[in-house]
Structure 1
């Protein structure tokens, strides 16, 4: 269940209440006239099954409540109510399959912001991966994958394509390009520093490296794994199963490929650098294609389920 807290202009309270009452899957409606002060208006509270949340939010935005008032959405971890159970049974589909597009767009928008934190995580993850590359240490590579923040902008691109939001697409693509470019530059300087301290050497980079040589040698499995990880990551975001994101993060070779490209660049190893860039681009492409296809399929399936419910209600 989702909990909605709204500040509604008094002239639109009746319309908002009618919308909530007519939406299948809502419960616990509360109206407090004149309770809100900033902005002024009526305070309206309700709970809604996750399956019906996107439709209700869309209707509330059409009333302009997000412009002249406020809409806040919270996940309810526990709700002990027979009425809530009934609302969830009435709503179409399963809550785990529902996509709250407004919530997804907001999350990906935040993750695609070029902030100090974003740059820091991207740079630190790539430097950790650089150490793993030179030392041929798979544990460091896995750790770097988990630290990297790149899935947020990737999900932003997928969401923007499906929702036809060019601003979000541009913002996410810029975050990806600038993030990886800055991380590669910083890691190249880091590699030169480590070489000056005699901690890195070209011979270490040119060694066989059985644990990490795959990073700069892309093959068909690189694309296959990226596609699978992209689909899994997208499902994790839309279903709020955040635990799966760790597995997704350590399945794709984005940050390690950027790190290997940076170290190879510092030693003038053009072959390794180009192979690493290919690996990076292949993974990014696979994730974006799979993520976009997954979101498009979810959107289509959900529209079909909602259409069936509406036809059944008309007949009833």
Structure 2
């Protein structure tokens, strides 16, 4: 429930109260004793989904923005008289006016935004370099990225260019700043005693996770955008949802910065692509949800509803084209990941099957120690894998076992790879006899 208080301008008291009577809303009226610009104060309770239609009625009755309308959330309302209103005004979304207020509240002042963004990126970068998932998640609590994403979408559907522009500007500037902070920290920490000597960031699992963006990444971003829109529309859980949005943006931005610091163009490009895809997906899902929820500008002659619709469609089209182009990269990585795992399974199966042949009795397959990577295989002139073989005591090892593996795997898989074989001396206990 909401408690609405309205200062009634001179000459509009009768029309305002008549509008409330037509809506069968209980209200209380007090005479205004201020400077004389208003003649009364009216106060009434209303379900949150009824705020917008009632305020539209009051606007028609003479309540303009130069008056005062205050909408307050209530802790508890004890009355059976509210049941009829709740049945009439069904739904859970907040009013258009409250939505704008929530969006502006979520987008902090510039200095606060920059401070929290820098701090969250510093923490996330430290978490990436130390391979600490807990540290990275902790950094997301600080990141202030939910506000700008929601603000941009709200401003678009409501035709508020100032709000939309502010949201877009904050997002673009913020992510560029996050990449710069990550790069700066990388340059400062690289080759210092705080990191292992000759550290290759590509081998850090938390970094590698953000340099192989697949279509699965879209689910995080789309889900975060939808959750953000729902949390704002229903005024619940925004802080936790903000963490999900930040997880989709800050770690890959910091990873891109580290790629620049270490001079790994592939890392910077892959992580940067992930940042852009996630950013577009969050904005797309939030914008669609707000529009489908029925949020529109104030329905008077000052707004062309068709122009707003065209603006929304235009922005959706722009985001869609951007995602489509970037999806080429996601599709390539997704396909490469699938082929990598598929070929790795096939290599393992065929290598083990070969040693199951009786002629290799006493030789046991232990595993492939070099992980197969389809991208490296496709770009390398000589890709080599190492197979570990256990040799039981007294077993003679064929001198050309590596070549036999090579021939067998080439025939079975069609892959042109070089094979290195490592041996592990084994002792096997006597088998129990029945």
Instruction: Classify the TM-score, shorter chain.
Output: 0.7 to 0.9
Q: Partners of 2:39 and 2:272 in 1: how far apart?
A: 54
1:161 deviates by 2.5
Q: Partners of 1:44 and 1:271 in 2: how far apart?
A: 63
Q: Deviations over 1:68-91 (max 9, x none)?
A: 221111111211111123321232
Is the counterpart of residue 155 in structure 1 residue 158 in structure 2? no
Is the counterpart of residue 246 in structure 1 residue 240 in structure 2? yes
4+ residue runs over 6 A deviation: none
Q: Partners of 2:181 and 2:43 in 1: how far apart?
A: 49
Mind listing any 5+ residue stretches in structure 2 that lack a counterpart? 296-434
Out of 89, 99, 102, which is 2:87 matched to? 89
- Asked if the contact 1:32/1:44 (under 8 Å) is kept, the reply is yes
Alignment of 1:98-177 (within 5 A): 98-177=93-172
Report the secondary structure of 1:4's partner residue.
strand
Q: Deviations over 1:110-159 (max 9, x none)?
A: 33354211111111111111011111111111112222111111111222
Q: Partners of 2:7 and 2:200 in 1: how far apart?
A: 60
Is the counterpart of residue 186 in structure 1 residue 181 in structure 2? yes
Q: 1:85 to 1:36 in 2, by over 3 A?
A: farther
Relative contact order, higher structure (CA 8 A, sep 6+): 1
Alignment of 1:1-316 (within 5 A): 1-23=1-23, 26-27=25-26, 29-37=27-35, 40-62=38-60, 65-91=63-89, 93-94=90-91, 96=92, 98-195=93-190, 198-200=193-195, 203-242=198-237, 245-247=239-241, 249-250=243-244, 252-299=247-294
Q: Partners of 2:41 and 2:121 in 1: how far apart?
A: 47
Q: Deviations over 1:172-218 (max 9, x none)?
A: 10111122223332343333333475324684452422244222221
**More deviation in 263-272 or 32-41?**
32-41
- Asked if the contact 1:156/1:169 (under 8 Å) is kept, the reply is yes
Q: Deviations over 1:35-72 (max 9, x none)?
A: 44596542221111112111122333455635322111
- TM-score, scaled relative to structure 1: 0.84
Report the secondary structure of 1:65's partner residue.
coil
Q: Partners of 2:64 and 2:244 in 1: how far apart?
A: 38
Q: Partners of 1:38 and 1:106 in 2: how far apart?
A: 28
- Asked if the contact 1:3/1:75 (under 8 Å) is kept, the reply is yes
Q: Partners of 2:54 and 2:46 in 1: how far apart?
A: 8
Q: Partners of 1:191 and 1:210 in 2: how far apart?
A: 17
Q: 1:5 to 1:290 in 2, by over 3 A?
A: same
Q: Partners of 1:89 and 1:149 in 2: how far apart?
A: 37
Report the secondary structure of 1:254's partner residue.
helix
Q: 1:126 to 1:205 in 2, by over 3 A?
A: farther
- Asked if the contact 1:6/1:44 (under 8 Å) is kept, the reply is yes
Superposition RMSD in Å: 2.5
Mind listing any 5+ residue stretches in structure 1 that lack a counterpart? 301-316
Report the secondary structure of 2:3's partner residue.
strand
Count matched residues.
294
**More deviation in 140-149 or 104-113?**
104-113
Q: 1:74 to 1:150 in 2, by over 3 A?
A: same
- Asked if the contact 1:141/1:256 (under 8 Å) is kept, the reply is yes
- Asked if the contact 1:5/1:72 (under 8 Å) is kept, the reply is yes
**Normalized per residue, which structure has more helix?**
1
Q: Partners of 1:130 and 1:262 in 2: how far apart?
A: 9
